[in-house]
Amino acid sequence: MLLTRLGYEADVVSNGNEAIAAIAHQKYQQPYDVVLMDVNMPEMDGLTATQHIRQMTLDTHPRIIAMTANAMTGDRERCLAAGMNDYVTKPFRLEDFIQTLSRCRSRSSSPVLDPNALHEIEKMVSFNSSTSISDFLTETIDEYLVDVPVFFEKMQGALNQADSITFHRIVHTLGTCSATLGAMTLAGICKDLERMAGQGILAGAAEKTTTAIAAYQQVRVALQAERRRYQKGGHL
């Protein structure tokens, strides 16, 4: 098998249901670093399986690479929006495949959240509020996770209407909220989108918004893990 020859240990499943079961079982053994997800699997397709995996409660979520023979317009965006991290079309060149795996390895080395940001919030709450740190952070994370999908929906509506002013306002709010919680990669993408909208240029904003959605999927997972830790009484 190609992955074995490249030095990776790999498990093989036949459909999306088996993929979900394998990921769920990782709680009790060595977690998967990367999932190569066939988009057109039987019983449950790769997009649906990915959405289920991203909703699972895991300490660490694997990076998911879409594998598809389709190369139609919008396929990559749909994969990223479902929560996948990268996209490879079949048949692929070995060099391209290795490069994709390398990107997963390098990205996973940098944290999704900047711990200093949450630490600053902790200090602010401890000095200025009678509310417990755990309660405050839990509520803040909950509000963010509820608000962000609404932001993306409104951003898409503004793009459909070519309304750069509304788009600029929403993406600015999203970026500010994301930076406050330490989601600096997502905040950086929002900065780029904000700059584009400020110049009245929305060409390319749809694709970059899809990238922002994919970044948010990782942020959501990381914040849910932080939320569980705060509920258990843990601090940074």
Question: What pLDDT score was predicted for residue 124?
Answer: 66
The pLDDT tens digits of the residues spanning 40-95 come to: 888 899 999 999 998 886 666 788 999 988 667 778 888 888 889 888 888 887 77
Full strand arrangement of the beta sheet holding 86-89: 34-38, 63-68, 86-89
Calculate helix-pair angle for 16-25, 46-54, nearest 10 degrees.
20
How many Å apart are CA 208 and CA 153, to the nearest integer?
Answer: 14
Q: Tokens 């699997």 belong to which residue?
A: 41
Q: Tokens 């999927």 belong to which residue?
A: 217
Question: What pLDDT score was predicted for residue 110?
Answer: 52
Question: What pLDDT score was predicted for residue 234?
Answer: 54
Question: What pLDDT score was predicted for residue 107?
Answer: 45
Question: What pLDDT score was predicted for residue 106?
Answer: 44
CA distances from 82 to 14, 21, 33, 126, 128 (A): 20, 18, 18, 38, 40
How many Å apart are CA 181 and CA 98, to the nearest integer?
Answer: 33
Mean pLDDT of the residues in the chain: 82
Question: What pLDDT score was predicted for residue 165?
Answer: 96
Question: What pLDDT score was predicted for residue 187?
Answer: 93
Question: Which domains, from first to last, does the chain contain?
Answer: 2-108 (3.40.50.2300), 115-231 (1.20.120.160)
The pLDDT tens digits of the residues spanning 144-196 come to: 999 999 999 999 999 999 999 999 999 999 999 999 999 998 999 999 999 99
Instruction: Calculate what percentage of the chain has a pLDDT beyond 90.
Output: 34
